[in-house]
Structure 1
Amino acid sequence: MNILVTGGVGFIGSHTALILLQAGHNVVVLDNLCNSSVETLNRVSQLIGRKPVFVQGDIRDCEMLDRLFLKHSVDAVLHFAGLKAVAESVAQPLRYYDNNVHGSQVLLQACADAGVFNFVFSSSATVYGEPAQMPISEACPVGQPTNPYGRSKLMVEEMLRDVAASDPRWRIAILRYFNPVGAHKSGLMGEDPNGIPNNLLPYIAQVAVGKLQQLAVFGDDYPTADGTGVRDYIHVMDLAEAHLRALEALYTRTGAHVWNLGTGRGYSVLEMVRSFEAASGKPVPYRIAPRRPGDIAACYADPAKAERELGWKAQRGLDEMMRDAWLWQSMNPDGFR
């Protein structure tokens, strides 16, 4: 298949592009490089001897999309392009709605115009908001996300359900991620945020490597075992493999389908710190800071539906996540730069 991967230079998109290439697909990566480096694709080539076609552009550029679909005979789209920082979304909601919601609408229109109806969407567990129960299954209610980032993801999900209901040709997978971490086991690919990291593990890694002075732990008064937030962390390679399984599942399914992608196990911030210290042999000093707007106490998945319907289950545990993240950070202290 010829597969378009939007946001394919980013953390999850690049690892998924690698998996798709390894599976024998042709991959076209579209990315505006707002929070990523094209060096990522050179690392993909270094690892497997194949490199995706790269197009620098924005998903809001409808004329560019029309040319891309025509030139590359696209069969399916994996849509990762989007802004993803919770705190930033609270401060800049209009930017998030423009990029994540409007951008997805433009992309979907280009898909429809080109006759491309196989679509995999990178969504988020934030659409569940403050969950009423744990673990979170796909049957749990959505509609009350606690921040604009989560609301932007939910808006796109609703858009996808509407287009699927409007035309039986659509085959859509909505993948609700929990917390992707880790890196490729080679240490050549990993998470490389611009500026101060928004996500926990890159921040921990940059403290351990000496790039940042200390970790800020946002809140130690949550109703959890040690007072810090609990999340379900999933290795990025497990996540990438799930996208291939979801794409294959669409061969036999029409309409829109939702799957949670997580491990089913939650770890607190302080558990993550201790685990990373053990993997790296480096201290990770931290300070307690006030809670961030939009954060919740605990969030972890019930991944049974993905195992049952996709034949997928996370295989890599916390030790492997920490080891691979440290290898990436220690080999690339300044990321891809």
Structure 2
Amino acid sequence: MKKQILVTGGCGFIGSHTVVELILNGYQVIVVDDLSNSNASVIDKIQSVTGERPDFHQIDICNRDVLTSLFKQYAFDAVMHFAALKNPQESYHLKEKYFLTNVEGTRRLLVAMEDCSVNHLIFSSSAVVYGNPSSVPVAESAPAGATTNPYGETKYRSECDLAEFCEKNLAFSAISLRYFNPAGAHPSGIIGEQPIKPAANLIPAIGNVITRKTDSVQVYGCDYSTCDGTAIRDYIHVCDVAKGHVAALEAGFARTGHHIFNLGTGKGESVLGVIHAFEQASGRVIPVKFSERRQGDVASCYAEADKARQELNWKAEHDLPTIARDYCHWLSLSN
């Protein structure tokens, strides 16, 4: 009998790649998504990659009645929770909406899980909870909570809620995965990053230049104390992130309490370095326009990922050139 896994936000970038990995590892997957920043056609693409079609329900997890009905319909063994608003810059203007969707949505999910005795949750957190780290690489023991934008605050608040929930429900396990900068696409070229709203992160902006939708990439800040003056981040292949979720799920079945893991490569790449890698992969010159630093951006942030390697038997397998290659392959098939 296959274990049933509910994946919220399963039509999104990281969620869809994780659904693929879950199916390939023998799980039965039920996807929910409100499609506010994704498309249901992703379900067809998941079927193309895996040969199996996950059940899909268009649901807003903030709708208590619909969520309760879903939990009564299935016998979930665990939940993977990706559903969230995720644009740091947008979160300054829509703070209330971000807290409703990200924080209150997670709380309502926990209530539904408790009512139906579903005791295992994998939570999509983020390295933004570390704020502006005092040193790199950043380990899980580093201070968290001094976030630089409301989006990061919602992720940290939900982590605190999960820790408190586990203290009150001793049979419950919650694993928060703090990943750094997921990027790339499935090597098949069938699934990639297709947000409906304009993406705020670097790789889609590069993709827009490669596909001639825009003329240049806007680089925010060229005066950081880094190797080339641009910000440094830890870019991790989305398939590595997806495999990290499966590893966390399997570990979660054997433990209780709240646990935190970084998912990253342990290596920082500058913005200009990333652009160069995509020039190499695409064969295109990618013009750059520099502008002022954005509110809340930090100079350097990359992961210390030893804990995940030791406790989850997971590590990132792909490098930046592979990320660029797979993303460009997906672009060539989807445009």
Once the two structures are superposed, residues 230-286 of structure 1 have per-residue CA deviations (whole angstroms, 9 ceiling, x without a partner) of 000000000000000000001221101000000000001100110100000011111
Question: 2:273 matched to which residue of 1?
Answer: 271
Letter in 2 for 1:174: S
What is the Cα deviation at residue 5 of structure 1?
0.1
Letter in 1 for 2:257: G
Secondary structure at 1:8 match in 2 = coil
Correspondences of 1:169-180 after superposition (within 5 Å): 169-180=171-182
CA contact (8 A) 2:87 2:199 kept: no
Question: 2:135 matched to which residue of 1?
Answer: 133
Secondary structure at 1:252 match in 2 = coil
Question: 1:293 matched to which residue of 2?
Answer: 295
Question: 2:243 matched to which residue of 1?
Answer: 241
Q: State the TM-score, normalized to the length of structure 1.
A: 0.98
Q: Provide runs of 4+ in structure 1 moved above 4 Å.
A: none
CA contact (8 A) 2:10 2:32 kept: yes
Extract unaligned runs of 5+ from structure 1. Answer: none
Once the two structures are superposed, residues 109-157 of structure 1 have per-residue CA deviations (whole angstroms, 9 ceiling, x without a partner) of 1111111110000000000011111100001011200000000000000
Secondary structure at 1:54 match in 2 = strand
Question: 1:231 matched to which residue of 2?
Answer: 233
Question: 2:201 matched to which residue of 1?
Answer: 199
Once the two structures are superposed, residues 20-40 of structure 1 have per-residue CA deviations (whole angstroms, 9 ceiling, x without a partner) of 011111100000000001111
Q: Does 1:9 align with 2:4?
A: no
Distance 2:230 2:82 in 1: 29
Distance 1:214 1:14 in 2: 29
Secondary structure at 2:125 match in 1 = strand
CA contact (8 A) 1:206 1:329 kept: no
Question: 1:101 matched to which residue of 2?
Answer: 103
CA contact (8 A) 2:32 2:59 kept: yes
Q: State the TM-score, normalized to the length of structure 2.
A: 0.98
Question: 2:122 matched to which residue of 1?
Answer: 120
Q: Does 1:165 align with 2:167?
A: yes
CA contact (8 A) 1:5 1:28 kept: yes
Distance 2:19 2:219 in 1: 33
The count of residues paired between Structure 1 and Structure 2 equals 333
Distance 2:134 2:185 in 1: 32
Letter in 1 for 2:319: G
Extract unaligned runs of 5+ from structure 2. Answer: none
What is the Cα deviation at residue 91 of structure 1?
1.9
Secondary structure at 1:81 match in 2 = coil
Question: 1:152 matched to which residue of 2?
Answer: 154
Q: Does 1:52 align with 2:54?
A: yes
Question: 1:220 matched to which residue of 2?
Answer: 222
Distance 1:85 1:42 in 2: 26
Secondary structure at 1:15 match in 2 = helix
Distance 1:55 1:193 in 2: 19
CA contact (8 A) 1:196 1:203 kept: no
Q: Does 1:329 align with 2:331?
A: yes
Letter in 2 for 1:15: H
Letter in 2 for 1:58: D
What is the Cα deviation at residue 195 of structure 1?
4.0
Q: Percent identity?
A: 45
CA contact (8 A) 1:90 1:293 kept: no
Distance 1:95 1:295 in 2: 21
Equivalent in 249, 254, 257 of residue 255 of structure 1: 257
CA contact (8 A) 1:30 1:56 kept: yes
Secondary structure at 2:80 match in 1 = strand
Distance 2:145 2:36 in 1: 29
- Report which stretch shifted further, 144-153 or 189-198: 189-198
Question: 2:91 matched to which residue of 1?
Answer: 89
What is the Cα deviation at residue 8 of structure 1?
0.2
Q: Does 1:308 align with 2:310?
A: yes
Secondary structure at 2:111 match in 1 = helix
Question: 2:113 matched to which residue of 1?
Answer: 111
**Aligned CA-pair RMSD:** 0.8
CA contact (8 A) 2:128 2:152 kept: yes
Distance 1:283 1:95 in 2: 39
Residues 213 and 196 (structure 1 numbering): CA distance in 2 closer, same or farther, change over 3 Å?
farther
Distance 1:198 1:127 in 2: 18
Distance 2:198 2:113 in 1: 35
Distance 1:123 1:74 in 2: 21
What is the Cα deviation at residue 224 of structure 1?
0.8
